[in-house]
Structure 1
Amino acid sequence: MIDRQPTLEGARLLLRPLRPDDWDALYAVASDPLIWEVHPAHDRWQEPVFRAYFDDAIAQGGALAVIDKSSGAMIGSSRFQNYDPDDGGSVEIGWTFLARSHWGGTYNAEMKRLMLAHALASVERVVFRVGETNWRSRGAMEKIGGRLTDRVDITQLPAGPARHVIYEIDRTNFASGPLASD
């Protein structure tokens, strides 16, 4: 069984369970339209759309607030979702976004390393659903050692169906991959 709402700490980041009182700080980050421009839910910067996303994160559990330790500021969020205990176990890491001020450096890699190390102590495999045309996230997945599978998931969004490709990282790949020594 995996703890889907741990507190995880790295050199630059603190990840802790997302709380209802995090709304203002997280929406301040998420209200930037450029964060969502290549995401399948490209309208998530709008308050009613993000409110539904935030409320779902709280209701589902598994959501984490991402805090920059140097400033104490909330800079994004991620989730552990869809835990499956069968066949060695798997969990999905997703619904991740970071403030643009924290793009292109080591923040995403540190966040994913912390989350992967936590998850892979309890499950054999972590899966990631990425919008098929979200090249920014697909590139980030490749940087952290995600292996593209042949599986596709179609999610119905208000704007219509969105195709997602599936990446995986298992214990073996993680132990020998780019995040192992990060």
Structure 2
Amino acid sequence: MDLQPILKNDLVRIRPLSPKDFKKLYQAASDDLIWEQHPDRDRGTLSGFVSFFSESLKSKGALLIEDQKTGITIGSSRYKILLDYNGAVEIGWTFLSRKYWGGTYNASIKELMVHHAFKFVSQVILFVDSDNLRSQKAIEKLDFIRKDQLIINRGSGQAKNDMVYSINRVQ
């Protein structure tokens, strides 16, 4: 599967993240309210964002999201192959500038990403921290089904509950 495709519609353009995108993406991410319900609340700070951006580039699945009309960077997302889930694909690490919350942008982005993934796999999975009610509500507006709850060790020594959502390709 191509983990860094170029996808677009009338609202957004999604493309591979590159090192030259640091400044633009940091500008979109440097809002503490974006991260207030996220388990890694430091991502809005320069040091936290440096770590996030570096991990994103290393993942080889990170994507930059731009407003199609203005060309402004509005967020990012990522694909990851999940070998423990029979090769399903995870869509995660997604964030959007607050200006783009609550409308059609998140659904539009997920639709593009899910449609692309379904060319290669039959299941897409999202993991959302149990404390991140905003993201859970956003996902539940889409066709994802809440499947499970897992304890995830995020490497900080702190295990967190993650809600597992999935959507299956219709055969």
TM range, normalised to the smaller chain? over 0.9
Aligned to 1:134: 132
Q: CA 1:77 to 1:86, structure 2 compared with 1: closer, same or farther past 3 Å?
A: closer
1:91-122 per-residue CA deviation (whole Å, 9 max, x = no partner) reads 10000000001111100000000000000111
Q: Quick check: 69-78 or 155-164, which moved more?
A: 155-164
Q: What number of residue pairs does the alignment pair up?
A: 171
1:10 paired residue number: 9
What SS does the corresponding residue of 1:50 show, helix, strand or coil?
helix
Other-structure match for 1:106? 104
Segments of 4+ in structure 1 off by > 4 A?
none
Residues 30 and 44 in structure 1, CA contact (< 8 A), matched pair in contact too: yes
Instruction: Report how far residue 133 of structure 1 moved.
Output: 1.2
Determine helix, strand or coil for the equivalent of 2:112: helix
- 1:56-95 paired onto structure 2 within 5 Å: 56-84=55-83, 87=86, 89-95=87-93
Q: What amino acid maps onto 2:135 in structure 1?
A: S
Report deviation, 1:83.
4.0
| Alignment partner, residue 179 of structure 1 | none
Q: What is the match of residue 25 of structure 1?
A: 24
- Deviation of the 1:153 alpha carbon: 3.7
* Structural RMSD (CA): 1.7
Structure 1, unpaired ranges of 5+ = 176-182
The alpha carbon displacement at 1:43 in A equals 1.9
- Give the aligned partner of residue 162 of structure 1: 160
Please give the alpha-carbon distance, in whole angstroms, between the structure 2 residues aligned to 1:132 and 1:147.
Answer: 15
Q: CA deviation at 1:161?
A: 2.4
- Give me the TM-score of the superposition, normalised by structure 2: 0.94
Partners of 1:86 and 1:133 in 2: how far apart?
Answer: 24
Whether contact under 8 Å (2:3, 2:61) holds in the other structure is yes
Is 1:96 aligned with 2:90? no
Distance 1:22 1:98 in 2: 15
Give the Cα–Cα distance (whole angstroms) in 1 for the partners of residues 120 and 84 of structure 2: 9
**In the alignment, which of 117, 120, 128 is matched to residue 118 of structure 2?**
120
**TM-score, scaled to structure 1:** 0.89
- Aligned equivalents of 1:122 and 1:169: distance in 2? 14
- After superposing the two structures, state which structure 1 stretch, 77-86 or 58-67, moved more: 77-86
Shift of 1:159: 7.5
Match of 2:49 in 1: 50
User: Residues 32, 86 of structure 1: CA spacing in aligned structure 2 closer, same or farther, 3 A cutoff?
Assistant: closer
1:56-91 deviation digits (Å, cap 9, x = unpaired) = 11011110000001111000000001343974x311
- Per-residue deviation at 1:11? 1.1
